[in-house]
Structure 1
Amino acid sequence: MIPKFEGLIAAPFTPMNEKGEVVYERIPAYYNFLKQNKVVGAFINGSTGEGVSLTQKERMKSAEQWVAAARENPGMKIINLVGGTSYAACIENAQHSARTGMDAIALLAPYYFKPSGAGQLAEFVARVAETVPQMPVYFYHIPVLTGCYVSMYDFLKEAAPAIPNLAGIKYTHEDFMDFQSCINFRNGKYDMLWGRDENLLSALVLGTRSGVGSTYNYAAPLYYKLIEAFDNGDLVLARKLQQKAIDMIRLLGKYGGIATGKAYMRYVGIDCGEFRSPVKNMSHDDYRKFTEDVKTLAMEEEFSKYISS
């Protein structure tokens, strides 16, 4: 059995400068910031990290920096999303991850030529996983972006006998029936990481003990309070805290979407720059309005704290 995660895994943003270049030197401070806020892992080069907008070299160099930061200050595990469209490129990234000392890798479904069913999807993942047999491999299920709506329960039935190093799934979808079936597949063998921050409480009810999310970058204390309330049986408080998270997440949509996450990071003291094109970034005037809206959330105690080291 591959050890399962317990706690919050952040999906870090990739720090950029004003020219849209990756600023690798900011990664160690970013790592320490997450660790200070009790985050147990980092899922790098994912959607939040703009992995699909980075070059192979950029993804590899970023991975090296995150692993180096973990060696310098142990305590967080690093999962690297190695890609999804070309299995040859995924293999290149996966083997680099193994040489670098990454804790695990993750794979997306091919999102241009899409697999027609669970068998094809499992075959694609297996082609990459078999090249790094000692490394835990996660599948990243996010059909709203990949367009691959294969049932993950069906995927596990195909993948279980074919991929011995399959660790689990990062599940970013709203099919709770499918998710629960995956949790209970083969007596709970696989690590099911919930990927929708706005309904983490619902996933806790079904049995998950870990989630991967962008808002855990800057609001980890809020979610740990939620988890504590749930564990203590205080569902009234847990629902109240989940609503706080939803109110916070609504501002993402109000100010343009995923790039607003970097504005939240700036608000808590970590400058990650802006997103690469074609993602829309907010204007200076919108950032001023955004900060005023954030203050109305009355969440200062629930935001992650930046402690300069």
Structure 2
Amino acid sequence: MYTLPKLCAALVTPLDARGAIDTSTLSQHCAWVLANGCDGAVLFGTTGEGPSFGLTERMRALEGLIADGIAPSALIVGTGCASIEDTAALTKHATDQGCAGTLIHPPFFFRPADDDGVIEFYSGLVDQLGSEVRNIVFYHFPEATGAGIGIRTIRHLLSAYPGVFSGIKDSSGDLSATLEYVTQFPELSVFTGDDNLLWPVLEAGGHGAITATANLLPAELFEISEGWRANSPSARAAQSRMELAWVETLLKLPVTQAVKEVLAHRSRNGNWRTLRPPLRPLSDADQQFLAARGETNFWNFPT
């Protein structure tokens, strides 16, 4: 099994003016986060508008990243779909490309899904993939998918399919739930989806973070990961900055749109604001709120 990266940007997906994936800009952005504090990146998660893209688009974008020099060992690919067949196709493709892992949520739309239904989904997926399947990271985000990944579900799947599942990303925002995963499943790499929770998750023995803010402030995550154990001043400062960036700013806005708005300002490339339906750009009021952070150079806007 591959070693999963610890600090991952949940990459936003840049689009050109026609709405097609801009693989060149995606590669440049991915290279930037990897050079500035992250050791990994997640493609086509929630922040990356994953469900809004077709299978072929997602496969070609991954191939383009790798062709542009992004190491597949640094990439975790969001491959979750509503059907087992589509999820299997994307997961096999990412595995064949040599990616570090795949991030897979339970199927959405038919909600609420109970534990047995979630177990059957993952079991069907693993059975269809066969002996080559590895390094699946559970994606627990019930607010978005309508289905949680409970302790019983994980325990059953780990027993039924040893060596297949290697981690879990918890985007519930509930620290106690994340710490329960750490306690119950020491064999899994537990990621928080909330920047402000990286410190306590690391203290408890968790693995790392997969976060939206890492698109903008990867160096802060690195400072926390390097300095939390010694409670260093730089780590405390980075933690305060992440509290402001995530809890006091991005969580008050539609997250994907807000991250893209900052990148549009920072790069002076308006195409960053392009979104796939049904997402829409920030309202004028939300843009003004976000710009106020930029005026203090919080987002390192160009001067």
TM-score, with length taken from structure 1: 0.84
Is 1:82 the counterpart of 2:79 in the alignment? yes
Q: Where does structure 1 lack aligned partners over 5 or more consecutive residues?
A: none
Aligned to 1:209: 207
**Which whole-Å deviations, capped at 9, do the CAs of 1:164-195 have from their partners, x for residues lacking one?**
31111111113333322322335x11111111
**CA positional deviation for 1:115:** 6.6
**CA positional deviation for 1:257:** 3.9
**CA positional deviation for 1:237:** 6.2
Amino acid corresponding to residue 295 of structure 1 in structure 2: E
1:42-57 correspondence to structure 2 within 5 Å: 42-57=41-56
Aligned to 2:194: 196
Is 1:159 the counterpart of 2:154 in the alignment? no
Q: Provide the C-alpha distance between the structure 1 equivalents of 2:253 and 2:181, rounded to a whole number of angstroms.
A: 35
Do the aligned partners of residues 277 and 75 (structure 1) sit closer, same or farther apart at CA in structure 2, a change above 3 Å counting? closer
Aligned to 1:281: 281
1:111-190 correspondence to structure 2 within 5 Å: 111-114=108-111, 116-130=113-127, 131=129, 133-134=131-132, 135-151=134-150, 153-164=151-162, 165-185=164-184, 188-190=186-188
Do the aligned partners of residues 60 and 283 (structure 1) sit closer, same or farther apart at CA in structure 2, a change above 3 Å counting? same
**Which whole-Å deviations, capped at 9, do the CAs of 1:99-126 have from their partners, x for residues lacking one?**
3332211211111124743333122112
Q: Provide the C-alpha distance between the structure 1 equivalents of 2:197 and 2:176, rounded to a whole number of angstroms.
A: 14
Aligned to 2:216: 218
| RMSD between superposed Cα atoms in Å | 2.8
Q: Provide the C-alpha distance between the structure 2 equivalents of 1:2 and 1:126, rounded to a whole number of angstroms.
A: 21
Aligned to 2:40: 41
Q: Check whether the contact 1:82–1:107 (CA below 8 A) recurs between aligned residues.
A: yes
* Number of equivalent positions: 296
Equivalent position SS for 1:231: coil
Amino acid corresponding to residue 294 of structure 2 in structure 1: V
Q: Provide the C-alpha distance between the structure 2 equivalents of 1:184 and 1:253, rounded to a whole number of angstroms.
A: 27
What percentage of residue pairs aligned between the two structures are identical? Answer: 21
Q: Provide the C-alpha distance between the structure 2 equivalents of 1:233 and 1:255, rounded to a whole number of angstroms.
A: 30
Equivalent position SS for 2:216: helix
Is 1:296 the counterpart of 2:296 in the alignment? yes
Do the aligned partners of residues 52 and 4 (structure 1) sit closer, same or farther apart at CA in structure 2, a change above 3 Å counting? closer
Is 1:62 the counterpart of 2:61 in the alignment? yes
Do the aligned partners of residues 18 and 282 (structure 1) sit closer, same or farther apart at CA in structure 2, a change above 3 Å counting? farther
Q: Provide the C-alpha distance between the structure 2 equivalents of 1:74 and 1:99, rounded to a whole number of angstroms.
A: 14
Q: Check whether the contact 1:78–1:103 (CA below 8 A) recurs between aligned residues.
A: yes
TM-score, with length taken from structure 2: 0.85
